[in-house]
Amino acid sequence: MLNGQVLSFWSQLGKPVKSKGYAVGREIVNGCVVPIVGGGLCQLSNALAEVAAIAGIRFVEHHRHSALIEQQRKSDSVDATVAWNYIDLRLQADFDFTVEVQLTQDELVIRVRSATAPSMLRRHQITQGAKEETKPTARGCLTCDQTACFRNRRYAAQPAARTAFLLNERSPELAVWLQERAGSDDWFLPWVRHRRRHLGWSAPERAQVSVALLPA
């Protein structure tokens, strides 16, 4: 970006749709964690906002999340939520800069490069003197205690019996729920490539696990 130009998150990414390769992820909507195509892009906007603050880049438009996700201890000092196409993250600087984004197997790396930026970078004032915010915790349907929601389903009590879990797409919330309740029940893991099996489900030792291999 040139000196004075505004960098817009959505102008760079465009609409997150399946045809562009976006998958279903998790997003906070009205205090609930719900599945949506492109969910999880806030991890990128959060990291970009953090790097921008360190580099002294101004926030032209910036919005914080309204809730914390489960297992998150506190709200981050630099927090940037985005939602297509009305909640954006926009940045501007008094120097030329380039943003580089790299996604490795286990890390999201963002670099800001500039030949004209001040030699002593200072954190943007948005984080100075920031007070700890008290926010509600956004929960998924497996751990949410709101039973009046239209997403809540009531199941009739079933007699005690052995249960089999057919597991496909992995999510942190379901993983926690299973570890607490699955016990020695049967676990079926369909269509798992051998080289990706370590990224999938981790069943308790007492569970009976069956795996269906994905043919080439």
Tens digit of pLDDT for each residue in 107-141?
A: 889 999 988 766 545 544 444 444 555 777 777 77
**Three-state secondary-structure class, residue 34:** strand
Compare 171 and 114 and report the one with higher pLDDT.
114
58 vs 149, more confident: 58
- What's the rounded Cα separation, in Å, for the pair 11 and 32? 27
User: Once rounded to an integer, what is the mean pLDDT over residues 13-22?
Assistant: 92
Note the pTM of the prediction, 2 decimals.
0.66
Highest mean pLDDT among 31-45, 163-177, 193-207: 31-45
Residue pair 185/165 in contact (Cβ under 8 Å)? The answer is yes
User: What is the b/e burial string over 170-204, where b = at least 16 CB atoms within 10 angstroms of the residue's CB?
Assistant: eeebbeeebeeebeebebebeebeeeeeeeebebe
Structure confidence at residue 125 (pLDDT):
46
Average of per-residue pLDDT values in the chain: 77
User: What pLDDT does residue 60 have?
Assistant: 94
